[in-house]
Amino acid sequence: MSSPFILLNYKTYLQGTGQGAVEIAKACKEVSEESGIEIAVAPQLPDIYRVASEVEIPVFSQHLDGIGAGSFTGHVFGKAIKEAGAVGTLINHSERRLTLAEIEASLKSAKEFGLRTVICTNNVPTTAAAAALGPDYVAIEPPELIGSGIPVSKADPEVVSGSVKAVAKIDPAVKVLCGAGISKGEDLRAALDLGSQGVLLASGIVKAADPKAALEELISLV
């Protein structure tokens, strides 16, 4: 099995805002270099340039709109986040949901600018539908478990294994990430054992007293 992919979503947590975003990214970079595991970060939009400029680490946007240049006040333009230093983007996170048409438009925009894509889903049918669009990753996250500290790999392992099987039938090139409640080494190990290729996580690392130590514990069973 190849090395897992870890994507850390900062959300709007105070600890991951401004200079804090940079410090957490530095911790991620150190652990990534020590372990050989790819760790990427998704800071808030205003912090993308700051993080990408100060830390050599893959930076993702938390959202992208399927719009082009023009009269789209307040929207997130793919070229803007690309120029800011992002290499990828989340699409349809449960805290920033989109319609199917909007997901497809956002994916098209991301691909236009060469951005890696992670479409977030909440069950097996939506994961299958997302995989049919051809993103780089789908991230299965039942919303009721997000931030709960209860990993989906324990609370509902069938939704992970079922998503892995569904995606493999539709497009084997699409990778599956496991999200919701992931924070410890046993959570990552369980997610990988269920067939996922990595994890999407947030508060367990971002809000930790020592993010580097929390990351080291996360990968301890890989």
Task: Say if residue 10 carries a ligand binding annotation.
Answer: yes
Reading the block at residue 71, the tokens are 């009269």
Closest by Cα among 84, 81, 65 to 73: 65
**6 is annotated as contributing to ligand binding:** no
Q: Tens of pLDDT along the chain (222 residues)? A: 578 999 999 999 999 999 999 999 999 999 999 999 999 999 999 999 999 999 999 999 999 999 999 999 999 999 999 999 999 999 999 899 999 999 999 999 999 999 999 999 989 999 999 999 999 999 998 766 555 666 666 766 888 889 999 999 999 999 999 987 788 898 889 889 989 999 999 999 999 999 999 999 999 988
Q: How high is the pLDDT of residue 184?
A: 87
* Token pair in block for residue 211: 């993010």
**Helix/strand/coil for 186:** helix
Residue numbers annotated as active site: 93, 141
CATH 3.20.20.70 fits 5-218, yes or no: yes
What would you report as the CA-atom Rg of the chain, rounded to the nearest whole angstrom?
A: 16
202 among annotated binding-site residues: yes
Q: Is 169 known as a binding-site position?
A: no
Q: Where are the domains of the chain?
A: 5-218
Is this structure's pTM higher than 0.75? yes
